[in-house]
Structure 1
Amino acid sequence: MSMSILNISAYKFVALDEPAVLREAIAARCEALALKGTILLAPEGINLFLAGPREAVDAFMAWLRKDARFADIEPKESWSDEVPFGRMRVRLKKEIITMHAPAIRPEAGRAPHVLPRDLRRWLDTGRDDEGREVVLLDTRNDYEVAAGTFENTVDYGLSSFTGFPDAVAADRARFDGKTVVSFCTGGIRCEKAAIHMRKIGIEHVFQLEGGILKYFEDVGGAHWRGDCFVFDGRGAVDPSLAPSTAP
């Protein structure tokens, strides 16, 4: 079968004053376009996963970008031969990614980021552009890491992202004098993680722009081992962004 279903993931930390009102408008638009997936809305922003024919997905994104708050949102794309969601859900949440750390407010200012091609160049030599050793930090949960991750990565075996602040605080000494790159599936968790690490005094911290999915899109599988867990019916995607065939 040809891969005719476009899957997108995107997020943006931006202040939303009336997420319930926005929820109704988004749900109606998704229903009109027969899209399926999950969209999370919270006072801190939007996190979306959608699937459908290219024309319908593009029509939704064009509609969403008419709202100035989302004008610059850029989704990551991958393809499948069927829709990997059973229904369309638009949900209200306290956070679009739960960390239980209200002082971390990405909508007020992002942490520095590194582009996928630059990260690959750093990993090729093990050093950043200033000559510091590069340490990769996987901010995902243990079952996600089990599907695949970068070579020589630090991970904390988390069962929930809410455990990240305590885990990294206990491990601060590991990162002294080094450049830390936090990463996750699409960028949302590693963005909060990078801000938190800077707040607790870890000096040289970057988030991987666009997360693993953007790295696969721009770079492929260099320095990666395994697949990338995704939160839909595909289970995981390989570095070519095709549904995983691993058992």
Structure 2
Amino acid sequence: MAQFLVAALYKFVRLDNFRDMQAPLLEVCQNNDVTGTLLLAQEGINGTIAGPEAGIRAVLAYLHADPRLATLTHKESWADKQPFYRMKVKLKREIVTMGIPNVEAETRAGKYVKPEDWNQLITDPDVVVVDTRNDYEVAIGTFKGAVNPETVSFTQFPDWVKQESTDGGVLRQKKKVAMFCTGGIRCEKSTAYLRSQGFDEVYHLEGGILKYLETVPEAQSLWDGECFVFDERVSVVHGLDQGSYELCRACRFPLSDADKLSPHFEAGVSCPHCHDKHTDEQKQRFRERQKQTELAAQRRERHIGAHLEAQKAAKAAAKEKARLAALAGQKGK
């Protein structure tokens, strides 16, 4: 039975004191054995965390106690292994980086479309469907008939919009635009950006692909492939069960079984997507890292992040030692 609850969350909301929120939020997560990454910016919060169910519930309760985050929603799934190695709370200029100021996603996002209504929208011949994710994510799965902007980074999206808004571009050919992404956050920002550029009928999938795969029965689904996720599960399928892809440890590209049969694949060192992009010196470092990882696995130890777990144990031991010393001091009085 899966023992780790995974919660993906975000909310566009003005957080003027986001810097002051960092340390207390990190402490709450660490005290509840929750790992993952949360991003804080003036425009809101974004991230994915995982841990024991009670720990995740405690962190969510802490966030909801802030009136600005009272309506924060999240998407849940389960994992057999802890999908993250450490907990990070980072301060950012944007919770999803587009590089365009004053997009105002909180108030200008497009119209939400619930997962159960999405099929009807994207099969409308007057609608152009756009996948706002990056190219390596689209490569392993997308909605049938969706346009791939072929971006390497979300910062390239505004240039793609500009190009496709000219005569002959896909955004000039249809009256309505429907956009989707993994969890919904990029859609809110991309649809807000389109509206700022004069597009009127702009829609996006509420809750993103993850909510669609959780909600819509596979027999009725228009999703083709698997959905890339940014943790050790790599991909998920309908029902949010773990998918079949693995991650290239050299370039972070999702790998299929066919990719691993390539002569360019070397576990932990290279794959068909990056075999010619690293120097011999880099590959040698990757080989040493892979060797240490395999040795740790043979000893049934975790190589990546093991030192952090040791630090955490040492910290807990020191805390307990200080507590016992304080008790001893009180008895001696």
TM-score, length of structure 2 as denominator length = 0.69
1:26 match: 25
SS in 2 for 1:140: coil
C-alpha deviation, 1:202, in angstroms = 2.1
1:63 aligns with 62
Structure 1, residues 20-53: CA drift from partner, whole Å, max 9, x if none? 1101110010011010000000111000211012
Q: CA-to-partner distance for each residue in 1:104-128, whole Å, 9 max, x for gaps?
A: 02134432211111112334xx22x
CA contact (8 A) 1:120 1:219 kept: no
Shift of the alpha carbon at 1:201?
A: 1.9
Aligned to 2:244: 245
The aligned counterpart of 2:14 is 15
Counting matched residue pairs gives 240
Aligned to 1:180: 177
**How far has the Cα of 1:208 moved from its partner?**
1.0
**Bigger CA radius of gyration:** 2
Question: d(CA) in 2 for partners of 1:37 and 1:27?
Answer: 10
Output the CA distance in 2 between the equivalents of 1:219 and 1:178: 26
Q: Please name the residue that 1:119 is paired with.
A: 118
2:133 corresponds to which of 132, 136, 140: 140
Q: Distance in 2 between matches of 1:119 and 1:60?
A: 31
What is the deviation of 1:186?
A: 0.6
Q: Which runs of 5+ in 1 are unaligned?
A: none
Matching of residues 42-81 of structure 1 within 5 Å: 42-81=41-80
Paired with 2:156 and 2:98, the residues of 1 have a C-alpha distance of 8
Shift of 1:96: 0.4
Q: Determine if the alignment matches structure 1 residue 193 to structure 2 residue 186.
A: no
Matching of residue 151 in structure 1 with residue 144 in structure 2: yes
Q: Which has the higher contact order (CA 8 A, sep 6+)?
A: 1
Q: Deviations over 1:142-163 (max 9, x none)?
A: 1111121110110111000000
Q: What is the TM-score with the length of structure 1 in the denominator? A: 0.93
Residue 86 (structure 1) aligns with:
85
Deviating above 4 A after TM superposition, structure 1's stretches of 4 or more consecutive aligned residues are: none
Q: Distance in 1 between matches of 2:138 and 2:65?
A: 36
Deviation digits for residues 55-76 of structure 1 (CA, Å, limit 9, x no counterpart)? 1111111121010111011101
Larger % of helix: which?
2
Q: Is the 8 A contact 2:161 2:171 kept in 1?
A: no
Aligned to 2:94: 95
Partners of 1:220 and 1:66 in 2: how far apart? 34
The Cα RMSD (Å) is 1.4
1:218 aligns with 2:215: yes
Q: Quick one: which amino acid aligns to residue 207 of structure 1? A: H
| Residue aligned with 2:78, SS | strand
Report the CA distance between 1:168 and its aligned residue.
Answer: 1.3
Distance in 1 (alpha carbons) for counterparts of 2:162 and 2:217: 32
**SS of the counterpart of 1:37?**
strand
Q: What is the alpha-carbon distance in structure 1 between the residues aligned to residue 10 and residue 102 of structure 2? A: 20
Aligned to 2:272: none
